[in-house]
Structure 1
Amino acid sequence: MKKIINISVCCLLLLATSCSDWLDVNPKNNIKEEELFSTEQGFKEALTGIYMAMCDVSLYGRQLTYGFMDILAQRYDTQSDTETLDYTRTDWYTFPSNQTENYTNKFWGGHYNIIANINNFLTNLETKGNVVTSDGYRDIMKGEMLGLRSFLYFDLLRMFGPVYKDNPSSPTLPYRTEFDRSIVRLMPASELVDNLIATLKEAERLLENDPMNISFPTAGSYEEGLDPFLDYRFNRMNKFAVKAVLARVYLYKGDAQSKVLAADYADQVIKASKGNSHLFTLVTDNATDPVCSTELIFALSMDSEKYDDQIDLDFKAGMTNAYFIKNRDRVYELFDTEADGYNDMRMKEGQGFTISNTGSYILKFRQTGLFSPAIENLMPLIRLPEMYYILAECTADLSESAETLSTVRSARGLSNIEVFAGEDEKMKEIEKEYRKELYGEGQLWYFYKRLGYKTFQFCPVNNMTESNYRFPIPDDEKALGGI
C-alpha cells in the first residue's frame, strides 16, 4: 500500500478513546471532516488513516501481536526478577490486575475508537459517497470497512468474551454499527457472532470484484501501471481476508454445521492460492524473507521510521528486553526438536531464530531493506498456513486432516504425518503448528481460549478457568454498554 497520505489529515478522524467522547468533535474539526469527505481523495485518506491507527504499539503494532498476547501464551522466558518481565507470575492471568489492566483498557478503548471511525466513514460514504467516482471504488471501500469492523469486533470478542464453547449466551460487547450517542446493550456472544457472520457475508458480496492486485514485496515484484489505491491488497481487508475471517468466526462458533462452513471458507482461500501464482503461496525458504511475505492474506504496513528501532530494541537478548528466551532449551521444546524440529526453518539459526547462550529471539520482524520501498515493514495479521490448520481441524477424515497439516509441515522442512491415531493426536499436532507457525502473531492465546485449555506449555496456572481467559470491560465504560 503506497503511502500517498498526509498523516496529519488522517489524525483528524481519530477521536477520543472513550466511547462517551466519540462525538465530542469541536467545530474546527467538524469543518475539516467535512472537507475530508468532500472528494474521492479524502475518502482514500480517511480509509488509510483507519489502517494506520491499527499500527499503534498499544494495538497491533506490538501488544496484540508479539507483545501482551504472546506473553500470555508463554512465548518468552526472560528469567527476570523484574515484576513486569517475570511471566511466571499468575497475576498475568488475573483480570483485572495491576499487571494486566493497563493493557486491556487500551485494547478496549483503541478498538472502539477505530470502530467509531469506521462507522463515521460508512456514514459519510452513504451520504456523500457520490464524490467517489472511480469504477468499483465505493463497493470496495464499503466492503473493506465492513470486513475490517468485523475483524476488530471479533478480536474484541475473543479478548473480552467468554470461553464460547462453554458459555455462548454470556452478555459480551456493545455492538455499535452507527456513529451516534445511543446506549447499546451488551450483546450475547452468540448473537454477536451471528451479526459478524452476516456483516462479513455482505462484505464478501461487495468485494466480489476485488482485483486482488498483490505485488508481494519481494525484490523486483512490483508491477508498473497498477492503480496505487488497488495495489498491495494484502495490506488491506481484501476479498480473501474476508473469507479468512469468516473461516475464523465459523470455527469459533464451533457447532458441526459451522465447522463445515469454516472448512469451506478456508478451502476457498487455499484453492485460490493454488490456482493463481499471483496470490498467496507457501514459503519453503525464509532465509531472505523471514516474514514469509507471500503467505500474508492480511498484514499491516508499519509505516514508521521508528519501527526498525522498535524491533532492534524489542528483539535482542538482554535483561531489560521483554521478548526473548533466556534458556535455549525452551526454544527446542517449543519447536519439538525431540521429533524433527531441528529441520524446521521457523527455528533454524540465522533464519527463523537467533539461538545462543545469551538468549534467543525470533527474526521474523527484522525486515530492513528486504522489500520494495513502496511499502514498509509488515505486521502479519492473517497468513495462509492458518487456513490449512482450520481445514485440518474441521475435516473429519483423519488421513485427510494429516495430509492437510503435512502440506505446511513439508514447506517448513518437516516430515509428513501419514494419519492421526485419533482426534486427540490430531489436535495435539495442530496445537504444535499454531505454536511454531504463529510465533509473535498473537494467535496462540486465542487457540487456547477457544478450546478451553486448562493449562498449556509453560503455563504457570494449573487450572485455567474462564476468569483467567476473559478480559474485563473497563469500569468507566460499563454504563455505556447498558449494564
Structure 2
Amino acid sequence: MKKKYISFLFAACLLGTMPSCSDWLDVTQNIEKDADKMFDNYSGFKGALTGCYSDLTKRDLYGTRMTMSTVDALASLWYLDMSVDYYDYIKENYYLRNHDYSQTMSQSIFESIYSNMYNAVLEVNRVIQAFQEGKGLVISDAKSRAVVEGEAYGLRAFLHLDILRLFGQVPVEASIQVKLPYAEVTSFEQSLTYYTFDEYVSKLKEDIERAKLLLKENDPVGQYTLLELNQVGTKDSDVTLDDDFMSYRQYRMNYWAVRALEARIYLYLGDKAKAHDVALEVINAKTASGKNVVELSSFQDYGQATHKVYSSPSECLFSLHFANLHDISVPLLYGKPEVEGETNAGVVSAQRNLVMSTTWKDDLFVGCDPNDVREDIWSDTKDSQNHEYPTISKYYVEEDSPGIIPLLRLSEMYLIAMEGATTLEEVNTLYSKYMVSKNVSRSDYFKSFDDLKIELPKEYRREFFAEGQMFYFYKRNKTQRLWSNESMLMDEGLYIIPNPDTDF
C-alpha cells in the first residue's frame, strides 16, 4: 500500500537509514514498481496471498485483539477489578468490559483495529485486482489459479463480516443505522463508498458466492481430508499434489471454510434456516472417496497423554499458524516470562494477565458432566500472594514452538445447526455427537426449545472462550445482561463500537 510504503520510508529518513531524504520519492516510486511486478509470476501471487494471511496474525487483529483480548473483554469474559493497579494493556480491557467507549484507551484500540482490518482488506484487494486485470493467467494450472482467486474473495468476506459484527448496527430490528465501507479499492488514495447495512450484506454475499464458485470444483479438499492435506510430503502421506501450494488447506480459506463462513453470516443475519442448512453441509462434508473432510476433535486433541493441544487444531476449518504464539500468549495469559533478576517471574498476576475468578470458572461448568474435557483447558494458577486465578491454556505453547489460533471450527457448525433445527430430535442428535467429542455420552438432553435457548450461550462460552465469538453472540441476540457483568444493562448503542474517524 502506498501509505504504508511512504510511512516506512519517511521513518527511515528520520532514522538516517537512507543515504539522503532527497532520494525518498525515487525510492517510493521504485517500490511501487516492484509491487506492480509482484503479479508477473505465480511466485508473486503466492507471496501476496501469504502476506494477506500473515496480516491476520498482527496483535491488533487475530493475533490478540480480535480473539483472546479485546473482543472477549467486550463480552465481559475476563475478571477485571479496578481496585487492582493494572498494567496499561490490562487496564484497557477493564474499560472495554464496562463498555466505556469514551476513554482515550478505548478509542485508540478501536481505531487500531479498524485501520488494520481495512489495511488487510486492501492487501487482499490487490490480489483480486490482479485477477481482474488478467494477470492471473501467469498461473498456468487452471485449478490453482481458481483456488488462489477464490481464497482472496473468501478472505475479503471473512474480514468484512467481522468489521460488520464489531462496528456495524445490530443485525435484526435495528433502531440505530450504521453505514460502513465495503472496501473494494487497492490504495488509500481511492475514495471509499459507505453502504447501508443491507447494501453491505449484499456485497458480502456476492464475495461468498464468487469464492464458492471458484473453489468448489478446484480446491483439493474435494479429494482429500484436511488432515491428509496437512501431511503432504511427510512419511505418513501417500497424497501427491501437482502444486504443493495447495497443501495445508486448514491454514487457508478453503472451500469448506468459505461454507462455514457462509453459515456464520446467515446466523448473524437471523436467517437460522439457511444457516442450519449450510452448517449441515459442512458437518457432512465428504471427500470423493467418502471420508469426512474434518471431524470433531476436542477429545482427540485434549486427551493426548503428552503434548495436549487445547486450541482444537484437528477440527479447525480455518486457523492461523503462529510461529511466535508463545511470545504473545504467555505474557498476556499465563504469567510474566522468566527474566533473570526479576521477582515473581513466571507467576500469574491479575495486574498483568487476563484471568478468571474461581467463582466464574466454576459457574462456567456448573451442571456439566465431570468428564467434560473442556474443563481441563483451565489451570488453577495462583499469584505470588497465593490468590487463585484460573488461566486458560488454549494458547499455551512451549517457547520456539508454533501454535495455532482457530478462526472457524466444526464445533461452531454443530451449534449453528442446533440453533436452526426445527425438531428436538434433530437438536438432540446433533448435541449428542457434539458432546461425545467432549468425552460426554448422553442422549437425554433438551426437553424443549426453551431449554436449548438457555444452554446455547453457555456452550458458546465454554467452547469459544478467548476466540472472540461471544460478543457477537450477545450482539445478534441483543442480550441485556452479560454473564459475569449482570449489574450492567446493555442497550443497542453499546453493541455498536464507535466508527473511528480515520482514513485508515
Residue 211 (str. 1) matches residue 220 (str. 2): yes
Shift in alpha-carbon separation, 1:320–1:90, aligned structure 2, 3 A: closer
Matches for 1:22-421 after TM superposition, within 5 Å:
26-79=28-81, 81-82=84-85, 84=88, 85=90, 92-127=98-133, 128-167=135-174, 170-179=177-186, 181-208=189-216, 209-212=218-221, 214-215=226-227, 225-226=240-241, 227-254=243-270, 258-272=271-285, 275-277=290-292, 279-285=294-300, 286-287=302-303, 288-304=308-324, 307-316=325-334, 317-325=348-356, 327-336=357-366, 339-348=367-376, 352-357=377-382, 358-368=388-398, 376-416=402-442, 418-421=444-447
Q: What percent identity do the matched residue pairs reach?
A: 27
CA contact (8 A) 1:142 1:206 kept: yes
Shift in alpha-carbon separation, 1:400–1:277, aligned structure 2, 3 A: closer
What code does the residue aligned with 1:187 have? Y
CA contact (8 A) 1:175 1:186 kept: yes
Query: 2: distance between equivalents of 1:436 and 1:273?
Result: 28
Shift in alpha-carbon separation, 1:347–1:201, aligned structure 2, 3 A: same
For structure 2, the residue ranges without an aligned partner over 5 or more in a row are: 8-24, 335-347, 383-387
Query: 1: distance between equivalents of 2:500 and 2:6?
Result: 15
TM-score normalized by structure 1?
A: 0.85
CA displacement at 1:203 relative to structure 2: 0.6
Cα distance per residue 1:347-382 (max 9 Å; x no partner): 12xxx12114532111121234998xxxx3111001
Query: 1: distance between equivalents of 2:123 and 2:322?
Result: 20
CA displacement at 1:173 relative to structure 2: 0.7
CA displacement at 1:13 relative to structure 2: 10
CA contact (8 A) 2:296 2:411 kept: no
Query: 2: distance between equivalents of 1:449 and 1:104?
Result: 17
SS at match of 1:475: coil
CA contact (8 A) 1:146 1:199 kept: yes
CA displacement at 1:461 relative to structure 2: 5.0
Cα distance per residue 1:295-340 (max 9 Å; x no partner): 0000011133xx2122221222213323222x3232111122xx12
Number of aligned pairs? Answer: 447
My pick for the range that moved more, 420-429 or 86-95, is 86-95
CA displacement at 1:407 relative to structure 2: 2.0
CA contact (8 A) 2:95 2:106 kept: no
What code does the residue aligned with 1:354 have? S
TM-score normalized by structure 2?
A: 0.81
Query: 1: distance between equivalents of 2:100 and 2:158?
Result: 26
What code does the residue aligned with 1:449 have? K
Query: 2: distance between equivalents of 1:273 and 1:365?
Result: 30
CA displacement at 1:204 relative to structure 2: 0.4
Query: 2: distance between equivalents of 1:90 and 1:140?
Result: 39
Query: 2: distance between equivalents of 1:154 and 1:138?
Result: 25
For structure 1, the residue ranges without an aligned partner over 5 or more in a row are: 1-10, 18-23
What code does the residue aligned with 1:207 have? L
Query: 2: distance between equivalents of 1:74 and 1:189?
Result: 26
CA contact (8 A) 1:13 1:46 kept: no
Shift in alpha-carbon separation, 1:97–1:406, aligned structure 2, 3 A: farther
SS at match of 2:285: helix
What code does the residue aligned with 1:355 have? D
1:441 aligns with one of 467, 481, 498:
467
Query: 1: distance between equivalents of 2:151 and 2:196?
Result: 25
What code does the residue aligned with 2:267 have? L
Shift in alpha-carbon separation, 1:16–1:433, aligned structure 2, 3 A: farther
Cα distance per residue 1:99-143 (max 9 Å; x no partner): 421211111100111111111111122322221113412211111
CA displacement at 1:419 relative to structure 2: 5.0
Q: Over aligned residue pairs, what C-alpha RMSD do you find? A: 2.8
Shift in alpha-carbon separation, 1:12–1:347, aligned structure 2, 3 A: farther
My pick for the range that moved more, 131-140 or 92-101, is 92-101
**Alignment partner, residue 455 of structure 1:** 481
CA displacement at 1:94 relative to structure 2: 2.9
Cα distance per residue 1:393-448 (max 9 Å; x no partner): 01121232132123222221335363534333211111111010111100011101
My pick for the range that moved more, 186-195 or 200-209, is 186-195
CA contact (8 A) 1:16 1:113 kept: no
SS at match of 1:379: strand
What code does the residue aligned with 1:41 have? S
SS at match of 1:416: coil
What code does the residue aligned with 1:81 have? V
Query: 2: distance between equivalents of 1:398 and 1:92?
Result: 37
Shift in alpha-carbon separation, 1:90–1:56, aligned structure 2, 3 A: closer
CA contact (8 A) 1:104 1:472 kept: yes
Shift in alpha-carbon separation, 1:91–1:332, aligned structure 2, 3 A: closer
My pick for the range that moved more, 170-179 or 385-394, is 170-179
Query: 2: distance between equivalents of 1:353 and 1:221?
Result: 33
CA contact (8 A) 1:235 1:300 kept: yes
**Alignment partner, residue 7 of structure 1:** none
Query: 2: distance between equivalents of 1:359 and 1:241?
Result: 35
SS at match of 1:150: helix
Shift in alpha-carbon separation, 1:16–1:121, aligned structure 2, 3 A: farther
Query: 2: distance between equivalents of 1:13 and 1:38?
Result: 23
**Alignment partner, residue 19 of structure 2:** none
CA displacement at 1:211 relative to structure 2: 0.2
Shift in alpha-carbon separation, 1:36–1:390, aligned structure 2, 3 A: same
CA displacement at 1:225 relative to structure 2: 4.3
Query: 2: distance between equivalents of 1:168 and 1:176?
Result: 25
What code does the residue aligned with 2:199 have? E
Query: 2: distance between equivalents of 1:68 and 1:78?
Result: 13
What code does the residue aligned with 2:316 have? L
Query: 2: distance between equivalents of 1:104 and 1:88?
Result: 14
